[in-house]
């Protein structure tokens, strides 16, 4: 059985070990490629300050590249008795290279190893989220433009209110995603700071070159203060979780709308039959299970920032094992939100829109404000126009005009989808994913 990186002569009780390790080994599989990249940058820096010979660095880098490709092939495992990904990588190195493999930990603690792993993982998965958001955004804008002239009722208090349109409905969620992307971009900036070199949270007596590892790993900057770098554990995850929760909130609301609009009492949209499920007792049922589960999954993700807050909010500065538990919900959250975004994109790209909604006489009162405004434009004071139309409605003789002319920015006749698209694309361009991709390529292909 492999020993722990921290183990001396006293063996830890098996039950205690099982309790404290928990799901950490499973969670660390998410981090394996990034742990290898962090080690490659770290030892490159160690050689520059004289703690490794040039030939030792070459040998270690070549073997770490081999391990990296194992981690990305799905064949990497953390063996029984090995505590975490850091121990497994070091074990694989020492098996292949002997004592040289034991030199990679100088100037590091597992604290700053997991910190840098989490930062690198988070940064990469944020890119995956952003790319998925772009696909959904484009679908929403396409559908908004396609159905811009299809009028549907707008609601307040779930009561028919004023004319809206499918152009507005699809476009509203597109613009909501544009705002969500801004928040994600802010979270990316927090994640894109290098904690490596903070060791256990108090730095090292070795003359570490933290600027060098920052550059080698493609970070925008470093977390300068070593105590704060350690304090960033949990904080970064909470901020990123808040960004994920914002996206989830948008999609949860969309899912509710879709379930409601798909129901027989509304009939605004129809989901493709292959995207619905049946009832075990009612042969006519076609249930919108995908959107119902989307709503539930999104609501679950919206709890994530609070879960992280409750794990971290009563901890002083310094490292505590409590922080380990954050991984269990945080790391899988990226797969969850990306799956949600992709599924919503698939559904909305194929949804069937009822183009005749507004012809239903039950919606004729939504044109009352249009009539009030028409009379105001002809010279009648607003209060008088409002009263006239109200009395006609009460008497049952209100007959609307169905022609609508909304021309101001963001309205039915002027969706501003080009402006919304520009906003989204400008925000996406500010992420600068290319910098870290080039850094990784240089480490792996030098």
Question: pLDDT for 65-99, tens place per residue?
Answer: 999 999 999 899 999 888 889 999 999 999 999 99
Within 10 angstroms of residue 391's Cβ, the number of other Cβ atoms is 11
Q: What is the pLDDT of residue 6?
A: 43
Q: What is the pLDDT of residue 332?
A: 95
How do the domains of the chain map onto residue ranges? 14-103, 110-197+225-359+416-432
Give the integer Cα–Cα distance in Å for 195 and 3.
27
Would you identify the CATH topology of the domain 110-197+225-359+416-432?
Answer: Fumarase C; Chain A, domain 2 (1.20.200)
Is 316 in a helix, a strand, or coil?
coil
Give the integer Cα–Cα distance in Å for 395 and 291.
41
Q: What is the pTM of this model?
A: 0.92
Cα dist from 217 to 89, 329, 360, whole Å: 18, 26, 60
Just give the CATH number of 14-103.
1.10.275.10
Q: Which residues of 218-245 are buried (b: 16+ CB within 10 A; e: fewer)?
A: bbeebbeebeebbbbbbebbbbbbbbbb
Q: What is the pLDDT of residue 324?
A: 87
Contact (Cβ atoms closer than 8 angstroms) between residue 411 and residue 187: no
DSSP alpha helix (H) spans, 107-225 = 110-146, 166-191, 210-216
- Asked, colleague to colleague, whether 14-103 and 110-197+225-359+416-432 share their fold, the answer is no
Q: What is the pLDDT of residue 287?
A: 74
Name the average pLDDT for the chain: 91
Point out the residues of the chain with pLDDT beneath 70: 1-25, 276-285
Q: What is the pLDDT of residue 13?
A: 54
Give the integer Cα–Cα distance in Å for 12 and 407.
73
Contact (Cβ atoms closer than 8 angstroms) between residue 146 and residue 415: no
Q: What is the pLDDT of residue 433?
A: 97
Q: State pLDDT tens for residues 211-260.
A: 999 999 999 999 999 999 999 999 999 999 999 999 999 999 999 999 99
Give the integer Cα–Cα distance in Å for 119 and 330.
12
Q: What is the pLDDT of residue 94?
A: 95
Is 413 in a helix, a strand, or coil?
coil
β-bridge pairing 269-270 and 352-353: antiparallel
Q: What is the pLDDT of residue 276?
A: 66
Q: What is the pLDDT of residue 283?
A: 54
Contact (Cβ atoms closer than 8 angstroms) between residue 380 and residue 388: yes
């Amino acid at each position: 059985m492999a020993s722990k990186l921290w183990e001396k002569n006293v063996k830890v009780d098996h039950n205690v070990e099982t309790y404290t390790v928990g799901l950490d080994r499973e969670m660390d599989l998410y981090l394996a490629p990034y742990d290898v990249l962090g080690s490659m940058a770290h030892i490159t820096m160690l050689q520059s300050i004289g703690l490794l010979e040039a030939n030792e660095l070459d040998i270690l880098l070549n073997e770490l590249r081999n391990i990296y490709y194992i981690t990305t092939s799905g064949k990497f495992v953390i063996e029984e008795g090995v505590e975490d990904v850091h121990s497994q990588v070091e074990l694989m190195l020492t098996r292949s290279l002997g004592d040289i493999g034991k030199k990679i930990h100088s100037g590091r603690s597992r604290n700053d190893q997991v910190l840098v792993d989490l930062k690198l993982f988070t940064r990469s998965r944020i890119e995956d989220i952003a790319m998925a958001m772009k696909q959904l955004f484009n679908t929403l804008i396409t559908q908004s433009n396609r159905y811009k002239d299809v009028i549907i009722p707008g609601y307040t208090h779930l009561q028919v209110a004023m004319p809206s349109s499918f152009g507005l409905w699809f476009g509203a969620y597109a613009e909501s995603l544009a705002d969500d992307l801004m928040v994600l971009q802010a979270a990316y900036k927090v994640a894109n700071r290098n904690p490596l070199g903070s060791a256990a949270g108090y730095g090292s007596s070795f003359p570490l070159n933290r600027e060098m590892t920052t550059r080698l790993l493609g970070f925008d900057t470093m977390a300068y203060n070593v105590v704060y770098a350690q304090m960033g554990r949990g904080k970064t995850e909470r901020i990123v979780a808040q960004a994920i929760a914002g996206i989830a909130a948008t999609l949860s609301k969309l899912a509710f709308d879709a379930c409601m609009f798909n129901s027989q009492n509304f009939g605004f949209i129809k989901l493709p039959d292959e995207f619905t499920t049946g009832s075990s007792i009612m042969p006519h049922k076609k249930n919108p299970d995908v959107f119902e589960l989307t709503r539930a999954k999104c609501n679950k993700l919206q709890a994530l920032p609070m879960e992280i807050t409750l794990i971290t909010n009563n901890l002083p500065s310094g490292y505590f094992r409590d922080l380990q538990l954050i991984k269990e919900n945080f790391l899988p959250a990226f797969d969850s939100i990306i799956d949600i975004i992709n599924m919503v994109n698939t559904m909305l790209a194929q949804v069937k829109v009822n183009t005749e909604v507004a012809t239903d006489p039950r919606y004729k009162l939504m044109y009352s404000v249009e009539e009030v405004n028409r009379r105001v434009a002809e010279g009648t004071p607003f209060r008088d126009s409002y009263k006239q139309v109200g009395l006609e409605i009460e008497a049952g003789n209100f007959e609307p005009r169905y022609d609508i002319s909304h021309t101001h920015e963001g309205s039915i006749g002027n969706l501003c989808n080009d402006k919304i698209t520009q906003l989204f694309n400008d925000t996406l361009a500010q992420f600068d994913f290319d910098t870290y991709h080039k850094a990784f390529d240089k480490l792996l292909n030098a």
